[in-house]
Amino acid sequence: MMLLDGKKLAQEIKEDLKIRVANMANNGVETSLAVVLVGDNPASHTYVNMKEKDCHDLGIRSLRYDLPADTDEATLLGLIDQLNADEGVHGILVQLPLPKHLDEQKVIRAIDPAKDVDCFTPVNVGLLATGKPVFAPCTPAGIVRLIKANGLEIAGKDVVIVNRSNIVGKPLMHLMLMENATVTIAHSRTADLKEVCKRADILVAAVGRKEMFDESYVKPGAVVIDVGVNRTPEGKLAGDVAFDKVAPIASAITPCVGGVGPMTRAILMENTVRAAENR
């Protein structure tokens, strides 16, 4: 069984990005990422802090805008307009979820697609769907990179993705199709989910249910990608995959901690550097 070490690969990606950031700095371009955080969601604050650290480690200028939870839509859209117009800002990220009174899709549509390093705008989603992405969404791109970097074949493989969200399932489907896989999107309404999963050569679990996927969902020899991050009653992290039960029969598997998560952050940094290079 091969352990797919996202932490190690993410570090290798970051070492390359440091060089690219330094080269641009030598040419007078300071790579910068603006992150907008509305409200006091503890998980969002944690994510933003981690992104700030990544920027600092790579020499990327991090601009952080903390707005109160009762910020009105006009104020938020006005800030995005300012960041769009600022030539010194290369990437813009609005941390989701937003407070319920704000229209998430309207806010996402306001971001300049050339600075949309999360790949959420309709323009970038459309480019991805037609196989010509400028940026690839961070978690799906991280998954594909992790599989390929370990010498595992995707072309011709039966891929089952248990997630249909705009952040993971749908964009990952497009990326897997670009790699010539045969892709099935499964979800809570899928009939005989266990049987669908058991035919997968590559199984991607992203449902947000602690250790739901045990050995009964997995074909022997499959590659298993665990995207889930859940808290146990004891406060420990657990994935969607029952690692100890699945690892003995999988050919390759990601750990809950140090698997997909570090890759997501590395791809965000890579998209930011690419946005700066494109400008």
Which residues, including other chains, have CB under 8 Å from residue 256's CB and lie 6 or more apart? Answer: 226, 228, 229, 237, 238, 239, 241, 243
Q: How far apart are CA 249 and CA 238, in angstroms?
A: 19
- Name residue, tokens 């309709």: 122
Indicate the SS3 state at residue 80. helix
Q: The tokens of 68 are what?
A: 């109160």
Q: b or e along 17-38 (b: 16 or more beta carbons within 10 Å of the residue's beta carbon)? A: bbebbeebeeeeeebbbbbbbb
Per the CB < 8 A criterion, the answer to whether 166 and 138 are in contact is no
Which DSSP string do the residues of 4-20 spell out, in sequence order? --HHHHHHHHHHHHHHH
C-alpha angle 23-147-90 in degrees, rounded to nearest 5: 30
Give the residue numbers marked as catalytic.
51, 95, 118
CA 64 to CA 70: how far, in whole Å? 18
Strands 230-231 and 182-186: unpaired
